Structure 1
């Protein structure tokens, strides 16, 4: 199966994407597929990461720290920004088109043998497990797709289970309370798992500590970010873990929240090794972190930024970084599209504080029509609002009317960030 055929196979399974058998949530299907493949998810130790926001960044930090320690690391994340290969990496390098086709072909063969029709996400997840086994990674760092307990990734038995934070999201599948969300995410904790908890609400923390892991470490008590300062190109951090204080750590990501993610990631890796890390390993690992699409600066004249925040808590953090750390002096221009109720997202993004809003339809079957996004923007007080059919057109219009002192932010969904990235890079400098 070549790459195009693999994509066609996944498209043919896309109607099952995201929730699959939602009436009876279960990991049975992917477990059967992987069992027929010899349970590749059990070949190497696993660090499993869940949480409402910050999962992707934390996974990348963990992976880079492990690579700096000299391990061969498999990393599985979702969704992708531009190409699906980005989801499956070995030592930071995406799986090749040829290898991706081979792995999806293996999953397709198992569908015929087992009679189990996987969802899009289950098929890609099984392919990742299979490839990690084939290339013999030393450790796999796995990001939960959604929630945790019934997520396709949750057939792993994690040595370290990581929780970044809890906020209201995916309430159509779990909720309505934060405790309900936390309970679903706690499902990744297995009896032998050491648990690293980034959430600090005592009522939510207890849900994770009571789940039955082998041990628990909690942010604010066992580890923390001691200093979290703005630096050129990122953050300057002092991080305290259960064993050590690491000083003057540079992280090339924007936003104070990334400092909190760094403390979680470093504690997770220390927990995995059951030992502190050498300072040079810590500095090298964090210095090599890249996070495309997460408050990524593409150009400076005008300041051009994309961010894939997909829910109001993430959008609120995005706005805080944009207006706080960058405080642009010229006009502030927002390119925005979303997959959810636009009023909440626009309020969280502080759209009414932008001088111009270019509303567009996010490139997804669930994308809210640009006209509806524009109407929501006007309803919260935005004056200069334009409507576009797609992200590229909105980005082009924003760049054409931006001066060197202006700032453009494209946000509202990872799908918007993914389409905006190549569109804005045509003009960014």
Structure 2
């Protein structure tokens, strides 16, 4: 691979012996916007440059179709909704490529809620520290490029396509070996993980922040060995694959803890904490947890976010502006600080004022209480389980003064719909039930029956067409002096509305 993302030498896919062998989304892993990536060039060609510019959109770059082709190739594989509980296939692929995941240290992150936000804050702090960063998260909201970030920017279509050309022959070889052995070929996420690891080596990066797709132990990202293993809050989700209890899920997630790792954990239920502590002891790793080794001291509402004070492992940071809404984001920031302190100084070196201020100020979390429209206010949030919905409802009450919130909601099958609605009900006046483009989206009438069972028929409207549902919600909210529309319940839905809002110029 050539050096397409910045300075540095070429990456040899067979390895040159110089790599340091010591180093090798909430989001719902099974969701991905299915109709966003393949339409940009077509929309541009059909609408023309003037209309794109009038909508405030940039014309697609000359490599956009090649980037789209990479996504199409990934989509041809077994989807993310059916991950394979195996590491051998991904391990074989990176082995053929010369183990690119060993070319840089890794901070590895898992949990149930807050993984992506915490990953993004960690990456921002590392970049503010002067390090060249890679960030791998899932799923994406609009384009698959978002999942592979280099130095804070989504990988370019040119680099995405070029790196894909370099790794694809090796993926095909592994596919053949797997099929000969009677196993499924590499899945979407397995292939994407290999592409990300190789892209970071090609850049090259100083450190990669890697978010687990699902679980931990057998997740394809676990071919990389994290110097720091980070755990966000663990609760019930994906029970069909991860286990029926919090302890079982935590045990699976604890698989990212490797020998002599530094483990940093958010506050956890006792049963989850016991599993993480046990994993640290078995691997002779260090272990620090929120409220014991570090803590969020204070969070106060500020214009555009909050002021947080954090006691880290090595320093105390007071009244730092964080441009994210919700007390849960303050806790995510505390975990991020502890993780970066662990990485940079083994937990003994405080971050400088400049690093903490810049790192927080430049942190973003797309799709999490993100403003996409005004008159009326339209917010999108990717909450798709009860824990995420509870945090969302709390943030709405604490950070905004809306007198009426109208929720546009679509949820995927296998989610705890009743739990999500119960969490949102105190903060939402009316629900407009719709659907997204995902094949896994619950039928609107079926979803509406569950919502009605929780909040009553007088607070529920059904509109299967998303555009019509949004129009209806905006009209209802617009009749109130401080009304707002909240779009939530599905990452696919949120991605579609972000794109729609930009195209129609809602801000």
1:249-398 to 2 correspondence within 5 Å?
Answer: 249-274=320-345, 275-329=349-403, 331-339=404-412, 340-350=415-425, 354-380=428-454, 381-398=456-473
Query: 1:221 & 1:424 partners in 2: Cα distance?
Result: 43
Indicate the structure (1 or 2) with the bigger Cα radius of gyration.
Answer: 2
Contact 1:193–1:215 (8 Å) recurs in 2: yes
Contact 1:399–1:427 (8 Å) recurs in 2: no
Contact 1:333–1:409 (8 Å) recurs in 2: yes
Aligned twin of 2:314: 243
Q: Deviations over 1:26-70 (max 9, x none)?
A: 111111111111111111000001111000010000000000010
Aligned twin of 2:118: 58
Aligned twin of 2:50: none
Q: CA deviation at 1:141?
A: 0.2
Q: CA deviation at 1:399?
A: 2.1
Aligned twin of 2:225: 157
Contact 1:194–1:215 (8 Å) recurs in 2: yes
Q: CA deviation at 1:341?
A: 4.3
SS of the counterpart of 2:314? coil
**Residue 408 (1) aligns with residue 485 (2):** yes
| Structure 1 residue corresponding to 2:205, chosen from 137, 142, 156 | 137
Aligned twin of 2:108: 48
Query: 1:113 & 1:245 partners in 2: Cα distance?
Result: 51
SS of the counterpart of 2:301? strand
SS of the counterpart of 1:62? helix
Contact 2:409–2:488 (8 Å) recurs in 1: yes
Q: Identify which of structures 1 and 2 has the higher relative contact order when contacts are C-alpha pairs closer than 8 Å and 6+ apart.
A: 2
Q: Deviations over 1:232-278 (max 9, x none)?
A: 11111110012111111110000001111111000100100112111
Aligned twin of 2:80: 17
**Residue 223 (1) aligns with residue 294 (2):** yes
Contact 1:395–1:424 (8 Å) recurs in 2: no
SS of the counterpart of 1:109? helix
Greater CA deviation, 365-374 or 408-417?
365-374
Q: Deviations over 1:261-320 (max 9, x none)?
A: 111000100100112111111011000011110111224432211000111111111111
Query: 1:50 & 1:8 partners in 2: Cα distance?
Result: 27
Aligned twin of 1:107: 167
Aligned twin of 1:4: 68
SS of the counterpart of 2:239? coil
Change (3 A) 1:390 1:162: farther
Change (3 A) 1:18 1:104: farther
Cα RMSD of the aligned pairs, angstroms, is 1.7
Query: 2:67 & 2:505 partners in 1: Cα distance?
Result: 30
Change (3 A) 1:153 1:317: same
Change (3 A) 1:392 1:231: same
Q: CA deviation at 1:218?
A: 1.0
SS of the counterpart of 2:242? coil
Q: CA deviation at 1:228?
A: 1.2
Change (3 A) 1:421 1:217: same
Q: Deviations over 1:337-375 (max 9, x none)?
A: 00124322222221x753332111132121111121222
Q: CA deviation at 1:84?
A: 0.6
Aligned twin of 2:127: 67
TM-score (norm 1): 0.94
Q: Deviations over 1:65-87 (max 9, x none)?
A: 00001010000000001111100
Q: Deviations over 1:173-227 (max 9, x none)?
A: 1221110111011000001210001133343222112112521111101100011
Greater CA deviation, 332-341 or 375-384?
375-384
Flag as ranges the 4+ runs of structure 1 deviating above 6 A: none
Q: Tell me how many residue pairs correspond in the alignment.
A: 423
- Structure 1: segments with no counterpart, 5+ residues: none
Query: 1:107 & 1:389 partners in 2: Cα distance?
Result: 41
Query: 1:4 & 1:204 partners in 2: Cα distance?
Result: 40
SS of the counterpart of 1:349? helix
Query: 1:53 & 1:289 partners in 2: Cα distance?
Result: 18
SS of the counterpart of 1:276? coil
Q: CA deviation at 1:104?
A: 2.5
| Structure 1 residue corresponding to 2:258, chosen from 190, 199, 217 | 190
Query: 2:386 & 2:140 partners in 1: Cα distance?
Result: 20
